[in-house]
Amino acid sequence: MLFTAACVVLATVSQGNGPELDHQEIARLRELYVANRAAFAFGTFRFDQVTAKAASPEDARNGRFEQASTGKGLYVLDGSNARLELQYDIDQLVDRSTKVGKDQARSSIHGFRALTDGHSTLWDEMRPDSTLRNFNHAAQINPGIHSFFRDFQFPFEIGQPEPKLMNFAGDLDKLESGEFTLLEFEKDAQFEGSPTVHLKYQAEWGTQEYWIDPDRGAVPLQMICHMNEHETTAQLNYDDLRETEGGWLPFRTTFSMDGGKHVIQIVIHDAEVKTPPVKDEFQLTFPAPTKMVDAARNLIYEPRPTWSLLDLPSTHSTDARALRISEYVPPPVMPGERQGWTWGSRALYAAATILAIAAVVQGYRMWQRRRG
Q: How many CA atoms lie within 13 A of 307 on its CB side?
A: 29
Whole-Å CA distances, 323 to 139, 177, 286, 329: 15, 48, 22, 11
The pLDDT, as a whole number, for residue 357 is: 37
Looking at residue 4, its pLDDT comes to 22
Q: What confidence score (pLDDT) does residue 33 get?
A: 96
- Provide the b/e sequence for 146-178 (b: ≥16 CB within 10 Å): ebbbbbbbbbbbbbbeebbbbbbeebbeebeee
pLDDT tens for 334-343 read: 443 333 332 2
Residue among 69, 372, 95 nearest 225 (CA): 372
Asked whether the whole model's pTM tops 0.85, one would answer: no
Sign, Cα dihedral of 151, 156, 158, 160: positive
What confidence score (pLDDT) does residue 91 get? Answer: 80
Sign of CA dihedral 108, 369, 62, 241: positive
Q: State how far the Cα of 238 lies from the Cα of 154, in Å rounded to an integer.
A: 11
- Low-confidence stretches of the chain (pLDDT beneath 50): 1-16, 333-362, 364-365, 367
Per-residue confidence (pLDDT) for residue 93, from 0 to 100: 78
Cis geometry, peptide bond prior to residue 335 (ω within 30 degrees of 0): yes
pLDDT on residue 361? 45
User: Among candidates 175, 187, 170, 171, which has minimal Cα distance to 15?
Assistant: 175
Strand residues in 144-273 grouped as ranges (E): 181-191, 194-203, 206-213, 219-227, 232-243, 248-257, 262-272
Which among 45, 89, 94 has a CA at the least distance from the CA of 70? 89
| Phi then psi dihedrals of residue 36, to 5 deg | -65, -45
**Residue 71: Cβ within 10 Å count:** 21
Per-residue confidence (pLDDT) for residue 210, from 0 to 100: 96
The share of the chain scoring above pLDDT 70, in percent, equals 79
Return d(Cα 225, Cα 207) in angstroms, integer.
6
At residue 338, the 3 state secondary structure works out as: strand
Parallel, antiparallel or unpaired: strands 120-128 and 111-116: antiparallel
